[in-house]
Structure 1
Amino acid sequence: MSHFDERSGTVPCKTEWGSWWQTIEEVFIEVDTGVGTVLSAKEIKCNIKSKSIALSIKGNTVFEGELFENVHADEAVWTLEDKRYVRICLSKSHSTAAHCWPSLLVGQFKVDPVTFDEMQKKLTLQRFQFENPGMDFSGAEMTGNYQGGGPELPG
């Protein structure tokens, strides 16, 4: 899976604190604390539950709320990189192309329609890659409306 992402890139949703993006199985969150920031892990509080998430840095809430869909909280991971970037990886409870999140949190960090369409196409291509492991879909182009994870493949 990571090889597909490395070759085909990501479709991020920009936010005031950084960005988030998704694959069929995971949601990735990257918080950029700013140039010149030097953090230690002790200054970060990240509380991930199956249906909610809260992140605060140095006592300031970055985001908090109900996740768009459930995640496997016990599989979630967060890291601090370069003492500046907080990266969070969430494992989706529903791992299908049909479960493309239109927002990170309910009512917050919503994806614009063009980006959402690109996210859906990306997840559909990823699904095709899973179903056809010998083929390289990283340079493929999708056209049309692929809401709901795209057309069903025969067989």
Structure 2
Amino acid sequence: MANFDERSGVVPCKTEWGAWWQTLEEVYIEANTGSDISAKVVKCDIRPRHLKIVVYGEVLVDGDLCEAVQPDDSTWTIEDKRVLRVCLSKALATADHCWKSLLTDRYHVDPYTLDEMQKKLTLQRFQMENPGFDFSGATVTGNYQEGGPQFKH
């Protein structure tokens, strides 16, 4: 059976190099390099509170993360020789730890996208708490910024 994200889709935050999105447990980064790359030209330094990604000597991301991650459980891969994918394992993996930005000072989520991210994390939490039900097609209504969600299935 497909996982929750495959069934429900992702809520991305677009950036100049690609996009990032999150689940309850992880933050995903997808960097489109525009040229063929190999592991030899990528430097990805993942620390508990800092991330630095360099491709062909060009810094794509360098800064303090919005929240802490677990570096030993985080990975990066290259897909189709042109897409760098980074998977950061959140140190705090709960629905109330929805990242508002990738770094503390950059790649902030706009209010609408943040609301959609929070709704998705809530549905993912419901899915984990109720494994016999499929919440991938469910919706959450209401505004998280103003009073919280209301659940509809």
Q: Residue by residue, what CA displacement relative to the aligned partner does 1:102-147 show, whole Å, maximum 9, x if unpaired? A: 0000010000000000000000000000111100100001101235
1:2, CA displacement in angstroms?
Answer: 6.0
- Give the aligned residue type for 1:77: T
Structure 1 residue ranges without an equivalent (≥5): none
SS in 1 for 2:29: strand
Corresponding residue of 2:62: 64
Q: How does 1:32-43 map to 2 (within 5 A)?
A: 32-34=32-34, 37-43=35-41
Instruction: Identify if the C-alpha distance between structure 1 residues 93 and 2 changes in structure 2 by more than 3 Å, giving closer, same or farther.
Output: farther
Identity %: 61
Corresponding residue of 2:50: 52
SS in 2 for 1:110: coil
Counterpart check, 1:11 vs 2:17: no
CA RMSD of aligned residues (A): 1.6
SS in 2 for 1:31: strand
Q: What TM-score comes out, normalization by structure 1 length? A: 0.91
Structure 2 residue ranges without an equivalent (≥5): none
**Distance across 2 between alignment mates of 1:132 and 1:74:** 29
Deviation above 4 Å: which 4+ runs of structure 1?
none
**Distance across 1 between alignment mates of 2:82 and 2:120:** 28
Counterpart check, 1:85 vs 2:83: yes
- Give the aligned residue type for 2:53: L
Instruction: Identify if the C-alpha distance between structure 1 residues 5 and 141 changes in structure 2 by more than 3 Å, giving closer, same or farther.
Output: same
Q: What TM-score comes out, normalization by structure 2 length? A: 0.93
- Give the aligned residue type for 2:125: R
Preserved contact between residue 70 and residue 92 of structure 1 (Cα < 8 Å)? yes
Corresponding residue of 1:76: 74
SS in 1 for 2:28: strand
**Distance across 2 between alignment mates of 1:58 and 1:11:** 29
Corresponding residue of 1:26: 26
Preserved contact between residue 124 and residue 146 of structure 1 (Cα < 8 Å)? no
1:39, CA displacement in angstroms?
Answer: 1.1
Q: Residue by residue, what CA displacement relative to the aligned partner does 1:35-87 show, whole Å, maximum 9, x if unpaired? A: xx111110000000000000010001001000000000111100011110000
